[in-house]
Amino acid sequence: MTEETPNQTSEKEPTVLDLYKSVTKDWASFFNFIQSVWDARRREEFNQALAYEAARQVVVEETIEPTRAITFPWRAVLALILALLAQALVEPPLRLGMISVTIYLAAFGVAVWSYRSNEWHLPALPAVWQASDPLTMRLVPLTLAVIVAVIAFLDFGSGKFSWLNVTLWVISIVLLAYSLWVPSPKIQREASPNRWVWIVIVLTAFGITVFFRFYQLDRVPIEPFSDHAEKILDVYEITQGKPMIFFERNTGREAFQMYWTLLVLNIFGTGFSFLSLKLGTVLIGILTIPFIYMLGKEYGNERVALFALFLFGVASWPNIISRIGLRFPLYPLFAAPTLLYLTRGLRTHNRNDFILAGIFLGLGLHGYSPSRIVPILVLAAFGLYYLHAGTKENRQQAIFWLLLVVIVSVFVFSPLLRYWVGHPDQFGYRAFTRLSSLESPLPGPAWQIFLSNMYKGLLMFNWDDGEIQTHSVLHRPALDLITAALFMLGILFLIVRYIRQRDWRDMLLLVSIPILILPSVLSLAFPNENPAMNRAGGASVVVFVIGALALDGLVSSFGSELKRKVIAYSMVGLLFAGVAYSNYDLVFNQFGPAFSLTSWNSSEMGAVITDFENKYGQTDTVWIVPYPYWVDTRLPGVWAGIPNRDFAMWQDRLSESLAYPAPKMFIYWNADTETERILKELYPNGKVTRYTSAFSGKDFLIFLVEQ
């Protein structure tokens, strides 16, 4: 496989037209030109900037695809069939691990044979640009950005957002981006005669993914649990004058989801409800999909991008973590663009991409705690680039670009950074409860637990996704059968290509997987929580791109002859139908029913409370008697439109209800005979009825006192 450096206009000297465009683009440029007439230093800076701007005006981007064999790619087809068979043998209930490994090794052998026969190659990586960064910046807006950021940082010491500090914060980021931004080149690509057809195909695929994300959202998952009560109360308290930077309830949470949910419930009128949480996170999951498309294009071509979009969009893993209504999808949402702009920036030497990478990196740190691992991915990306950089100039530029990413991300992160400075224990409490013996002793030597966790984490994609019911189908591969097989073959081809070509981008894809699953792997205190699909969610960004790369290479192996193309795309259609069917089954026929079996029917209790309010005009004398491992007594109030009340009345305090006038209603668990005895003693005229739940085994009792 070969790769061409794009043809740039950097070989020519700036023209008079270039000078005119540069001088007249804004007043600052004009005055800079006037001052450069008599100031030698400014004249040299102006000449350098002009040359840089002229050099980046037009880029013709070309890549050369690897040579393909003209014979029918039977080896490639055989490798895929073997990989599918191997993966099928570990699907529940078979779980034939050793036989599967043997067949996978055979598939790898045939795949390498196919590679050496010029059948199955990954698509060519986009061409690397050889432009130089002028390493300049606009000092006045940069100085203002620092001053405004410092003022905002000090004001964030209150621990709350305000119109003043948010405005100053946003202004500082805009000024910083403006001070560092450089003119972007115009990229010339060969126009496709079927462009509109391609757009329709992409939009159709995107529409299918949107269907998968929204379908049965009201029922899958059907009931909330305690974390949702915490989130809804956090959102509610924002409206009560508590716009927190970091929400300390329930071991602490970053703020992004709370404000996003508030925006969603106001736009769609869904109130402080479970649906608002789910709708907000599903939208976050959908917003991730365009970045997956662009990432696929950055590591391959538009066809890779389409394949990645579809595989990620219909997959059960990102779909489930988007539906739960918690912060889980924020990890892939911000990991995807960070990786995208880092890779593109290092490939094109375009400083603007690093500014964007810094913005998304900083935003991600406001989202979900596992995003705190993404800075390590950033360092890994620059480290790999630095080791593979061919010239001293490229290495020097890489250091400058890394500083840009760090500075921009710190500006964006500054509200939470200020909270961290003031409350380091609270900020890191949740992470340290998993990483260390803060709450309980480690069950063994830390290094042994880490290696064991990493081993299990790397097996989650094709073997076992763990035992956390709230966001996975238990003890099965995280990927569907077809995607899992493509992923394994994609890993193989990435390793083979890296050995042959030594391109840092291949290695970055490979190392990003163990890095992005670290939030799950580092659960040293509770190793049974690993693998965790939510904390490893950032890895999904890379996993589906790798599967798409393998599939594109397989399609290309059929060649360009019309008959071969028909066969290839028919095969893709069948594979995609299988992927869609399998993931539909996983989400709606397996995860949904399993989740409903383990969740409590708080919605039905909420309906009973609503009926009481409609009949008697108040809910102040409605209580729920807690029982071990039963419903969270805050959740029925959420369904009844009362998000800020805990309806709990503990058994030993039931006598306090005598001070309240009738009517009164008590809801309690059907096996709680002691509560029923106490209530009958307190209210001899009370009436007991059994609420027959739509969920098997979840009936509850209602004790009504009308006078």
Instruction: Summarize the confidence of residues 551-564 as an average pLDDT.
Output: 94
Q: Is the pLDDT of residue 46 over 60?
A: no
Within a domain: 305: yes
Question: Is the separation of the CB atoms in 273 and 380 below 8 Å?
Answer: no
Instruction: Summarize the confidence of residues 25-53 as an average pLDDT.
Output: 55
Within a domain: 92: no
- Cis amide bond preceding 531, omega within 30: yes
pLDDT tens string 587-630: 999 999 999 999 999 999 999 999 999 999 999 999 999 999 99
Give me the pLDDT at residue 29, please: 59
pLDDT tens string 244-295: 999 998 889 999 999 999 999 999 999 999 999 999 999 999 999 999 999 9
What percent of the chain has a predicted confidence (pLDDT) above 90? 82
CA distance 519 to 523: 7
Q: Is the pLDDT of residue 2 over 50?
A: no
The total number of residues shown for the chain amounts to 707
Q: Are residues 284 and 394 both part of a single domain?
A: yes
Q: Are residues 539 and 627 both part of a single domain?
A: no
Boundary of a domain, candidates 550, 582, 597: 597
Q: Are residues 470 and 343 both part of a single domain?
A: yes
Q: Are residues 400 and 336 both part of a single domain?
A: yes
Q: Are residues 171 and 231 both part of a single domain?
A: no
Q: Are residues 456 and 422 both part of a single domain?
A: yes
Give me the pLDDT at residue 5, please: 41
Within a domain: 424: yes
Between residues 187 and 323, the one the model is more confident about? 323
Within a domain: 586: yes
* Residues forming beta bridges with residue 254, ordered by sequence position: 246
Instruction: Summarize the confidence of residues 546-561 as an average pLDDT.
Output: 95
Give me the pLDDT at residue 184, please: 77
Give me the pLDDT at residue 666, please: 98
Q: What angle do CA 554, 556, 560 make, to 5 degrees?
A: 145
pLDDT tens string 498-510: 999 999 999 999 9
Q: pTM for this one?
A: 0.91
CA distance 135 to 182: 10
Closest by CA to 583, choosing from 476, 509, 488, is: 476
Within a domain: 37: no
CA distance 303 to 551: 10
Boundary of a domain, candidates 567, 597, 627: 597
Q: Are residues 322 and 258 both part of a single domain?
A: yes
Domain that includes residue 612, residue range: 602-705
Within a domain: 632: yes
Q: Is the pLDDT of residue 18 over 80?
A: no
Interhelix angle 330-348/274-298, nearest 10 degrees: 20
| Strand blocks (E) in 87-152 | none
Within a domain: 493: yes
Give me the pLDDT at residue 23, please: 54
pLDDT tens string 628-665: 999 999 999 999 999 999 999 999 999 999 999 999 99
Residue 9 pLDDT grade (very low, low, confident, very high; cuts 50, 70, 90): very low
Q: Is the pLDDT of residue 35 over 90?
A: no
DSSP string for 460-473: TTTT---S-GGGS-
Between residues 215 and 23, the one the model is more confident about? 215
Give me the pLDDT at residue 10, please: 39
Residue 190 pLDDT grade (very low, low, confident, very high; cuts 50, 70, 90): low
Q: Are residues 278 and 413 both part of a single domain?
A: yes
Q: How many domains does one find in the chain?
A: 3
16: which 2 tokens? 């008079």
CA distance 706 to 686: 7
Question: Is the separation of the CB atoms in 60 and 24 below 8 Å?
Answer: no
- Residue-averaged pLDDT of the chain: 91
Q: Are residues 577 and 621 both part of a single domain?
A: no
Instruction: Summarize the confidence of residues 40-44 as an average pLDDT.
Output: 52
Between residues 76 and 185, the one the model is more confident about? 76
Give me the pLDDT at residue 368, please: 96
Boundary of a domain, candidates 564, 597, 630: 597
Exposure string over 518-533, b if 16+ CB within 10 A, otherwise e: bbbbbbbbebeebbbb
Q: Are residues 140 and 239 both part of a single domain?
A: no
Give me the pLDDT at residue 39, please: 55
Give me the pLDDT at residue 560, please: 87
Token pair 């379908």: residue: 215
Give me the pLDDT at residue 19, please: 52
- For residue 563, give the amino acid letter: K
Q: Are residues 350 and 418 both part of a single domain?
A: yes
- For residue 313, give the amino acid letter: G
What percent of the chain has a predicted confidence (pLDDT) above 70? 89
CA distance 695 to 604: 10
pLDDT tens string 452-488: 999 999 999 999 999 999 999 999 999 999 999 999 9
CA distance 672 to 670: 6
Q: Are residues 282 and 334 both part of a single domain?
A: yes
Give me the pLDDT at residue 194, please: 84
Closest by CA to 48, choosing from 140, 113, 132, 119, is: 132
Give me the pLDDT at residue 192, please: 66
* Residues forming beta bridges with residue 665, ordered by sequence position: 622, 704
91 φ, ψ to 5°?
Answer: -70, 140
Within a domain: 96: no
Of these ranges, 57-71, 183-197, 309-323, the one predicted with the greatest mean pLDDT is 309-323
Q: Is the pLDDT of residue 6 over 60?
A: no
